[in-house]
Structure 1
């Protein structure tokens, strides 16, 4: 028996095409959604035009788009950081909720701090809360071999119900008619970069994190260890890398970035904590990381695109009569395209086994 790694020209071309599967996922999903729109009697050109107008048609619309993209950028960075280590942290949503909870508590409780320091402490608290929530599945994986996909996914529900309980009960504001906390202090609110656009400073935090994650992953020894563990844990272990330590630190940073996403959303947009304050930002951050091929720059671009879908969905519904949920359908189809591309690419790289008489 002989194992052959040789591939035909057609296989090479196929692999090259599949390597760009995440890029092709966007036009592919839009094309499929256009077919769906035609099937329900809607003009796709008018619908997509309304969506683009709602997302980029004015400075205010652009600001809303970027505000919606900001938590996606941070959650996506957290997802890609763990992906690079071969760890599938699907708990971005729960970690985001805990980060929002911590930032809200600090923003309400510590009222005598200078504005800049109050913002910094609140953001740091959000990062720490997300990291601590991710610490549990990290330890379970390294000490007991528990599958992190299952543990992080289940902890999402624990986090969401915990935050809902606190917002509806112990932390509910005394003078609020809705089930929400009191607003955070003005000193903890993220300032607007351009007041006319409502674009807040959390976007600058996200951009700084994009640069930081790139530097850490590709310009530091720790980043080399992370990528080595993601490529082959066994080879990394033989090279002297403490795989368990690297996995735990990676998941802590991943969860911290998701927690930071929740903190930015509270301090920059909502200013109060409600039971279900995130419309799936954590899950969409994972989508952004997949579309962006687990690269900070790609995740940034993908997050802005997904933010545009969310921001322009309402205008698409008003102007073209297309339900706003079509934006989420588009997002889901893109995920299917990405997953299919990855699966086919792996299949294309399977070595051929030939029998020699």
Structure 2
């Protein structure tokens, strides 16, 4: 059988990796496109390894990105993100990947999709088409090329690189968004009775991506756990998924918990928090209690994330900036900038929030990431129907 040759670039963005495509190089039919992308990544794979594809057998490395020149006057490129399930034939387009967002600007520049200065900082305006939000990436340039090498260290990534600053503009939800307003139930705190779990106090928020925040103690955890401490615990993962799925229904993101668990795997994300505590990160680095404002962990595609999702960081920043959320309560009060501890180390984030006529509005959330072009050329894939 003759294999297709599809132009592609393999890129790291933040603590994630994905295969990047130009929209025009993929089938226009969504079903055929998704079947092709599943085969590119190597899913569904009952062995959970994605050996026959580009996926890396984790939620952080089983991802695809589609980029197109934007028809919008206020954007340079449109960015579509697909989270590819490892064991199911599902490409979930319901949310953004904040980590791979860091690679969108460099990809657009290197592929000639935007005009930028040869030196200094290139500003790339990105329309995140999954969630209909604007993102601004500030990409360092030198001699007409994207600057990739630098001394900015991002915990969860082995090597330092050039810093890319990302601004998520007006990341909070509104009435026209899927899932509704920033706080879909109208409350900053809710209690949901989850079958098999019991009453669970939580903050449900639309910011960056839909997210659910709970106390670590709700899951019988301390908040300092690493991936290895959680991802092998089937009972704990089942409990976490039950909370996530039932909260998603309350957020208007699914008709039933069963439907959410079957078809909506990428969003909403479930994160848990605790007051700052010392622990040893996954690379052996000591994280001191005095270095952080809070400890945070997040689930992604059914497993504990090895660091922190980019959109999770955005939602945490927004939750921290608004009084009355679970995050601000754990912090002991709202803060516009925080540094939190995650399994791979620490991360600083911030958000600009203000109260307007009794409603909280977030103008932007800010964080820094790094990105690198790993491989370019064509990806080979058997023809799909």
Give the TM-score, by structure 1 length. Answer: 0.25
Larger radius of gyration: 1
As a proportion of its length, which structure holds more strand? Answer: 2
Higher relative contact order (CA 8 A, sep 6+): 1
